[in-house]
């Protein structure tokens, strides 16, 4: 007795229909069932060739085609050739269309486009964590954007926010006692964005930070003299780099991130 054959036809990769076919085949103990996946069937000529071949094996045809014209043509050919066909995705599209009262986009491969976006986001988040707070300055060479600024200018939360927008963001703290990494000066100015803040706003923020750490709020870290010194130092570094500068005073992370994205995508170097 010939081994049953299943042709899996898709206008994308075809993994979904193949998985369903394998899951069904696993329920039978009457010998092997051969599954042949035919991906990227995007025109009627290719479809007709595949179905003609499938008919020679009296194969079952499982398909995930979202383009209506291809689905209709497959049904016509299958009827002509007496093929058994299984529409893997069609019933779900119809059901979701009814409950959502919307029309599906009918674009092949959307699931994998979404997967790609997801993995790019994960990669960007991992990048932000790895190269946070200047842990490894070599990372700035591989970043889409590098944020620089003194302590408590929202560098880390901004990098994480940008990572969710699929941008690889690194950040470098500017401290007068520590020279900036050489890698920073190798970058084109458009990839570096300076963050600054008004001293009278930063002062209470740093005091609260010290309290959270269980330290005296009058420590040098939160003194106005120290803050002004750090801001002057950072301003000089940013001028040397020639990078755009954003004042984060009283700005939500989302608002600052929006300005960073404008600079990155549009080359808008003027802080507004």
Q: pLDDT of 33-90, one tens digit each?
A: 889 999 888 889 999 999 999 999 999 999 988 888 888 999 999 999 999 999 988 7
Residue ranges for the known binding site for ADP are 149-156
Q: Can you list the domains of the chain with their CATH numbers? A: 5-108 (3.40.50.2300), 114-266 (3.40.50)
Separation CA 157–CA 104 (nearest Å): 36
Compute the CA torsion angle 69, 74, 79, 84 (nearest 10 deg). Answer: -140
Query: Is 60 exceeded by the pLDDT of residue 1?
Result: no
> Which residues are 38's β-sheet partners?
9
Q: pLDDT of 99-145, one tens digit each?
A: 888 776 666 665 555 556 777 888 899 999 999 999 888 889 999 99
- Token reading at 222: 């939160």
pTM over 0.75: no
Residue ranges for the known binding site are 149-156
Sign of CA dihedral 242, 179, 148, 220: negative
Separation CA 193–CA 267 (nearest Å): 12
Supply the pLDDT for residue 109: 60
- Token reading at 94: 């119809």
Task: Give the CA angle between residues 241, 244, 250 to the nearest 5°.
Answer: 130
With tokens 């005296």, the residue in question is 216
Q: 150-185: string of b/e by CB count within 10 Å (b at 16+)?
A: bbbbbbbebbbbbbeebbbbbbbbbeeeeebbebbe
Separation CA 172–CA 149 (nearest Å): 7
């Amino acid at each position: 007795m010939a081994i049953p054959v299943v042709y899996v036809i898709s206008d994308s990769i075809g993994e979904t229909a193949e998985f369903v076919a394998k899951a069904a085949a696993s329920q039978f103990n009457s010998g092997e069932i051969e599954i042949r996946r035919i991906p990227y069937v995007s025109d009627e000529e290719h479809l007709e060739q595949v179905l003609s071949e499938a008919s020679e094996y009296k194969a079952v045809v499982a398909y995930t085609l979202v383009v209506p014209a291809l689905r209709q043509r497959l049904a016509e050919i299958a009827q002509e050739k007496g093929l058994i066909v299984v529409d893997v995705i069609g019933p779900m599209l119809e059901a979701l269309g009814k409950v959502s009262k919307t029309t599906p986009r009918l674009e092949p491969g959307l699931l994998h486009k979404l997967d790609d976006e997801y993995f790019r986001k994960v990669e960007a988040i991992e990048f932000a964590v790895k190269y946070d707070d200047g842990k490894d300055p070599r990372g700035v060479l591989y970043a889409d954007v590098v944020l620089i600024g003194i302590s408590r200018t929202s560098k880390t939360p901004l990098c994480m926010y940008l990572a969710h927008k699929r941008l690889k963001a690194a950040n470098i703290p500017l401290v007068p006692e520590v020279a900036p990494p050489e890698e920073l000066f190798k970058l084109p100015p458009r990839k570096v964005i300076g963050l600054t803040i008004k001293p009278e706003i930063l002062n209470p923020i740093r005091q609260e930070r010290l309290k959270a750490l269980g330290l005296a709020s009058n420590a040098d870290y939160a003194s106005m003299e120290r803050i002004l010194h750090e801001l002057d130092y950072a301003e000089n570094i940013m001028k040397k780099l020639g990078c755009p500068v954003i004042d984060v005073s009283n700005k939500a992370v989302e608002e600052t991130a929006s300005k960073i994205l404008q600079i990155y995508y549009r080359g808008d170097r003027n802080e507004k």
